Structure 1
Amino acid sequence: MFRRILAVLGGLFFGVITITIVEKLGHYLFPRPAGMNDNDMEALKHYVETAPLVALLFVILGYALGALIAGFSATKIAGDGKKTYAVICGVIFLLQSIYMMYILPTPIWFWVLGIAVWGLVLIGCKLALNKKI
């Protein structure tokens, strides 16, 4: 039981780390306006509305890589060959993504991709189950 819980927590942890790294890279390449307060929701909404397309794509890329890593690591940590832990991670991240897209004004294409990429946890799971890795 402990290993199963650890698998989900590990998947979430490594997924968050991956998303954070990719999003930080995106912020480095496409910096937010000087002096912008990350805790100011109105400033964040305005930034998302005016952000370059590529800056938003870094968020989707972060979600995609985070899904792969979360699915992979949850499956490896669990070690029982089941995709349950990867799916749990994917659902948790999906709900968080939907919440963020709801509170910030994101275009419809972002919603479609932002939801679809979480299916990549299953690819991460499949990679983890590959005996050659």
Structure 2
Amino acid sequence: MLRRILAVPAGLIAGIICITIVEKIGHSVYPPPAAAGNGDMEAMKEYIASAPFMALFFVIIAYALAALVSGFTASKVANNGKHTSAAVCGVIFLCITIYMMFSLPTPIWFWILGILTWGLVFVGSNIALRISKG
């Protein structure tokens, strides 16, 4: 029971770490303005509206890696042979992603990939479950 309770926070933490690392790499290649990094939402909106494709695509890459790692971690920690913990992580991250997309002027391709990407929690979960069986 304790493993299933801890599985979701473990998956979320693993996913957040992945997002942070990949987004930091993206920001080193495509640095946002200083004001955007200081929490100025208006500066961030201006940056997003004019950012190059790859600057935004780094965020999608971060989401994809986070989904895989989050689903894998949650399923490994839960160790119950089910995708439930991974699905909960995916739903939480999806809600956060949708909130951020409403808050910032993201293009339609970002909406589509940003939503679809969180389905990768099931891929990560499947990998974890296969390793557990093997």
TM-score normalised by the chain length of structure 2? 0.95
Percent identical pairs in the alignment equals: 58
Match in the other structure for 1:49:
49
Distance 1:85 1:37, change over 3 A: closer
Unaligned runs of 5+ in 2: none
**Residue number in structure 2 paired with 1:65:** 65
Q: Going by fraction, where is helix more abundant, 1 or 2?
A: 2
User: Would you say how many aligned residue pairs link Structure 1 and Structure 2?
Assistant: 133
Deviation (angstroms), 1:107: 0.3
The 5 A counterparts of 1:50-129 are 50-129=50-129
**Are 2:71 and 2:123, in contact at CA under 8 Å, matched by a contact in 1?**
yes
Uncovered stretches (5+) of structure 1, i.e. residues with no partner: none
Point out 4+ residue stretches in structure 1 off by more than 4 angstroms: 34-37
1:20-75: CA deviation from partner (whole Å, max 9, x where unpaired): 10000000011112454431110000000011100000000000000000000000
- Alignment root-mean-square deviation, CA: 1.3
Q: Distance in 2 between matches of 1:37 and 1:97?
A: 18
Q: TM-score, normalised by structure 1?
A: 0.95
CA offset at residue 111 of structure 1? 0.2
Which residue does 1:33 correspond to in 2? 33
Contact 1:38 1:44 in 2 (8 A): no
Contact kept, 8 Å, 1:71 with 1:86, in 2: the verdict is yes
Q: 1:41 to 1:129 in 2, by over 3 A?
A: same
Residue 3 of structure 1 is matched in structure 2 by 3
Note if contact 2:33-2:43 (Cα within 8 Å) is conserved in structure 1.
no
In the other structure, the counterpart of 2:18 is 18
